[in-house]
Amino acid sequence: MKFSDHILRIGLTIVVLTGLYLSFKIWTNPANNDVADSDQSQITATEVKAASEVFLPTKLIWHQTGNLQLSNRESLITTIQKKMSKWKYRNFKKISRGNQEEFNKIFQQNDTVELIYPNQMLLEEYNSVFKMNIKNIPKDIFFDRMIIPVDGTKIYFLTDENFVVYEVSIKTPVAELQKSLSDKNISYTPVSILHEELPYVYFLETDLALKQYSYILASQPYTTFTQAFFEDSSSLHPNEDGSNDLSYTDDKGSTLFVQTSSGSVSFQGDLKQTGLSDVNSNPFGISYYYVGKLGNSFGNIRFFDYQKNTLTYQNYVEGFPVFSDMGKGSIQVTIADEKGITIQTNVDTIQVPIPSDEEVSLAKTQNVVDQLTQTGVDFSSISDIQIGYTWENLTDTKQIVDLTPQWYIRYEDKWVTLSDLLATYSIGGKSE
């Protein structure tokens, strides 16, 4: 680290620590345990975070003849999505299922834009969030990626599992994507696809240098969560057991628990209080009902994963997800049944970036695959590979976290760093 960067980091830390200290004193003051206090009525309601930000696709691939280019640029993806939301659609239909050859043919078209989600997205929710106004969409359709011809005649929704393809026509052909894609301010990374190990994961064709970031850490007050998760946060009952942990219950049995030592937040609630319905078919809308009410307190939070009625929303920095321990920078929402909902998160959030010129060089994807192969990792247990930022707490300055880019592997449905996965294996098999 340069000396000037070190001085800047110290200076910024001093500036914010006073505010953070005062916030901490307020947060842990026993007098604040009575959330029914009249001061609560003075708290301004958090602005709801737009669903179009939370559910925006996370990757864009520009398909040109013999040339595939990747961008994680949120502004570009937003621009493309806004254009799509203005188009008029007709004739939604399923055109293929179980036919890998047909799937690949559509998937590999030239002069197209591909928008990708990190996990399966519910098409009904996508249609609603972005006001696409596509008619006659069944309620149980999920998709991983969209293929949009640059000439604007059709959109294809693809589900990698079972090679399912849906098609919707655009009423009036629109050729307006080229200009946005060709913007000289947009940088792309060359990628390739249909590799033997992971056919539908894009491989970076070159090494990639990414900035290492540092952020000022902020601990959200418990009122952020009581206001977002309870239907009536003005009539909660604190559970005082003599510990420093915080626990609140409402008259209908919903509970919020905050562990002060780790910052872990756990909420259990009753969906019937919210008036939400259609639980089984639209967990996306239900989870967003809670996540959206956290507003911008969690920074750039995006949909990241969906597994068995559990949705995970993750912090993103420069188009890449942030991974951490103890649920920091993450919100996990589980819809247990028609009545119950559980939310796991953490009070610690990244707020203020600290300027830095430090970079980390990451090897291209094939080199990562080669390392895994040579170490004997079972590829049948790997479903995805991508770059993410690792949240690292500093021992000497607790109110600053470093975000370091690393390769992450989805192994047995859990995200682990490349280095950690390699460490669990010995040559020829998994270590005991």
pLDDT tens column, 205-237:
999 999 999 999 999 999 999 999 998 888 898
Q: Please name the helix (run of DSSP H) or strand (run of DSSP E) that holds residue 361, with its range, or none.
A: strand 359-362
| pTM exceeding the 0.75 threshold for the entire prediction | yes
Do 282 and 243 lie in one domain? The reply is: yes
Q: What is the pLDDT of residues 147-197, one digit of tens each?
A: 998 887 899 999 999 999 999 999 876 777 888 999 999 999 999 999 999
In the predicted model, is pLDDT for residue 325 greater than 90?
A: no
In a shared domain, residues 245 and 149: no
Residue 272 lies in a domain: yes
Domain C-terminal end among 353, 370, 404 = 353
Domain final position from 338, 353, 368 = 353
Pair 172, 256 in one domain: no
Same domain, 69 and 153: yes
| Same domain, residue pair 73 and 117 | yes
Whether 229 maps to a domain, the answer reads yes
Residue with tokens 């796991």: 344
Question: Considering the domain boundaries, does residue 45 fall inside one?
Answer: no
The CATH number of whichever domain residue 306 belongs to comes to 3.30.310.160
Q: Residue 372 falls within a domain, yes or no? A: yes
Spell out the alpha helix ranges (H) of 142-275: 178-181, 222-229
Is residue 2 situated within a structural domain? no
Higher-confidence residue: 23 or 170? 170
Pairing outcome for strands 203-204 and 189-192: antiparallel
Tell me: do 263 and 389 sit in the same domain: no
- Looking at the fold, whether 302 and 376 belong to one and the same domain comes out as no
CA distances for 288 relative to 9, 38, 196, 304, angstroms? 35, 29, 36, 12
- Beta carbons within 8 Å of 217's beta carbon, 6+ residues apart: 20, 348, 349, 350, 351, 393, 398, 399, 400, 401
- Same domain as 247, residue 116: no
Do the domain assignments include residue 85?
A: yes
State which residues form the domain around 378.
Answer: 356-430
Mean pLDDT of 242-264: 90
Q: Hunting for tokens 């930022």 — which residue is that? A: 389
Q: Please list the residues that pair with 411 across neighbouring strands.
A: 382, 414
Same domain, 169 and 83: yes
Q: Are residues 232 and 349 in the same domain?
A: yes
DSSP assigned state of 205? S
Last residue of a domain, one of 138, 165, 194: 194
Task: Please report whether residue 270 resides in a domain.
Answer: yes
Whether residues 220 and 179 fall in one domain: no
Confidence category of residue 364, pLDDT binned at 50, 70, 90 = very high
Number of H helices, E strands in the chain: 10, 27
Whether residue 279 contacts residue 94, with contact meaning beta carbons closer than 8 Å, is answered with no
As to burial, measured by CB atoms within 10 angstroms (0-12 exposed, 13-18 middle, 19+ buried), residue 35 is buried
Q: How many domains does the chain have?
A: 3
- Enumerate long-range contacts of 122-127, CB under 8 Å, 24 or more apart: 122/282, 122/283, 122/284, 122/306, 123/157, 123/166, 124/281, 124/282, 125/55, 125/282, 125/284, 125/285, 126/55
Nearest CA to 318 among 191, 206, 211? 211
Compute the average pLDDT of residues 27-42. Answer: 40
| Least confident window among 31-45, 82-96, 272-286 | 31-45
Is-contact 244 85, C-beta < 8 A?
no
Of 58 and 282, the one with more pLDDT: 58
Q: Tell me, yes or no, whether 37 lies in a domain.
A: no
Give SS3 for 103.
Answer: helix
Statement to judge: residues 265 and 362 lie in one domain? no
